[in-house]
Every structure is written in C-alpha cells, then in structure tokens.
Amino acid sequence: MVLKVLRYGKVKVAVDGTEEPYWGKNGLYNVRPKVHVKSDDSWQYINLAIVEPKFVPLMSLPYRQIDDLDNLTIDLLEYLKTLPLRIDLVLFDRGFYHWELIDYLNNFRGKRPWPYLIFVPKNDAMKRYIQETKGRLGVFIHEGSHCKKKTKWKPKTKIVICKAIGKNKKGEPYDWCFATNQKASLSLV
C-alpha cells in the first residue's frame, strides 16, 4: 500500500462534500437540487483526504438525498481506522455539525475519541457565545441531543469562539465558531 511507503508521521485529515453537475432528465432520489447555473441537479460526494503534511485523497462516497450523511461519515472514519496512519486531527466543514457525529467522535461508549474540529454555523447559541466572549478566545461547553434506535443521547462538545480572526472583503472583522475536543487556542485555526 502506498501509505506505508510514504511513512507519514501524524496527519491531519479532512471530510468534506463536493458536487458534480448532473445533466440527465430523471434525477429523483439519486441527485440533489442544483447549485450550478446550467444544471438542475448534481451528484453529491463525501470525501476523505489527508490534508497535512501533503494532500492525498483517500476515498469518496456518492450519496443521495435519502442517505444519512452521519452514517456515511462514520463509515469513512471506520475505513480511516484501517489505514496505517496516526491521526492528529480530523477537520469538518459546517455541514457536518450534527450531534450524532459529535457523539461518535467523542466515543463516550468506551473507545478512544477522535481528535476533531468542526466549524459551526452561527445559530442563536453561537451568536450568544460570541457576545459573551471577552478578548479574542472564548470556550463554552455546549450540549445537544439526538435519538437513535429509540434512545435519546445528550452529547456535549467544547465550542471555541475566535473573535476577529480575519477580515472580510469590506474590511470588517469576522469571528469563527467551532466544536472540538482539543485544547482551545488560536493555533487550532
């Protein structure tokens, strides 16, 4: 296997979604609504790749509107466990901020937790945390819930707020919010 030959030490991996335009007539459940101007539908993929020390794509899975994105993500992470890699951090975009996934990543059921960082959409709770943050860095414990197989779970995660981390095109400062189980610091960004 090529990964054994590369002999990477610790690596950072990312899970992200991509899409390709679909040009057929009958999409239904196999494609998702368009995001491209010239196509009404698109194929959706969830991707797993090493992003540090060098970019190496590992696997892509197609998914449909009716598929459970959390289960596909967990399947990718289970595949990642089989590879000869030492994982330093798993990165996720905002679209992966789901309590079932966070619960799996924290592995409170006896397994070793995954080191993760998930960007969080600025919902009402995040806006409140941003307002409560004094200085450039704020840390909050946030609890959510999800149900699986008639059982309700209430996982917790650490929300880290980084204020004025950069400037937008208008020159205004913007803030980043992310969920993690890592030590809170600006170096995570």
Whole-model pTM over 0.85: no
φ/ψ (deg, to 5) at 96:
-105, 10
Tokens of 88: 């330093």
**Rounded to whole angstroms, what are the CA distances from 17 to 44, 46, 143, 144?**
7, 4, 25, 23
Q: Which segments within 23-155 are labelled E, that is strand?
A: 32-33, 41-52, 56-63, 86-92, 116-119, 137-143, 146-148, 151-153
- Tell me the pLDDT of the chain (189 aa) as tens digits: 555 545 677 899 999 877 666 555 555 555 555 554 555 566 678 889 998 888 888 988 887 665 667 788 888 988 998 888 888 999 998 888 888 888 888 875 667 888 999 988 888 888 888 888 888 888 888 887 777 777 787 888 898 988 877 788 888 888 888 899 888 777 766
